[in-house]
Amino acid sequence: MQIDRELKRVFTADTKEDALAMHSMFKVQWNKKYPRQIYNLEKKVNYLFTYFSYPQSVRRSLHSNNTIERMNKEVRRRIKAIDSLQTEESALKIVYLRVAELNEKWSHRVLNGYFKCRD
């Protein structure tokens, strides 16, 4: 959809100032068709644009949900391999153990640029 592309352009801007300028154009373009949505977006614009206070090297991982999707895939894979589970409690135990394994594995990952966010 065109509105999705336009909104994505706002949040992929290089600076907060550029994003605010694009947001203003976005509002003018879409306010007649989606007044309530634009109003709700406008109420939270300062909160949403906090994103721009982080270095560009970090922003991609902030708005990505790849880690969550990967974890869900790993949990599904583990449960599928165990053909049948006797109780809901046994399924929860397997999910817990897999998430604990992934947490340990991923806890030592280094994400580029995060050192710039300290203090």
Q: How many domains does the chain have?
A: 2
Domain, as residue range, for 32: 2-53
In a domain, 59, yes or no: no
- Is the same domain home to 76 and 49? no
Contact 116, 58 (CB under 8 A): yes
In a domain, 113, yes or no: yes
The model's pTM: 0.57
DSSP string of 28-58, one letter each residue: HHHTTT-HHHHHHHHHTHHHHGGGGGS-HHH
Sorted by sequence, the CB contacts under 8 Å of residue 34 that are 6+ apart come out as: 3
In a domain, 10, yes or no: yes
- Is the same domain home to 80 and 112? yes
Alpha-carbon gap, residue 97 to 101, rounded angstroms: 6
pLDDT tens-digit series, residues 57-103: 777 777 666 777 888 888 888 777 776 777 888 888 888 888 888 88
- Is the same domain home to 113 and 72? yes
- Is the same domain home to 46 and 72? no
Name the residue with higher pLDDT: 20 or 55: 20
- Is the same domain home to 48 and 75? no
Alpha-carbon gap, residue 25 to 17, rounded angstroms: 13
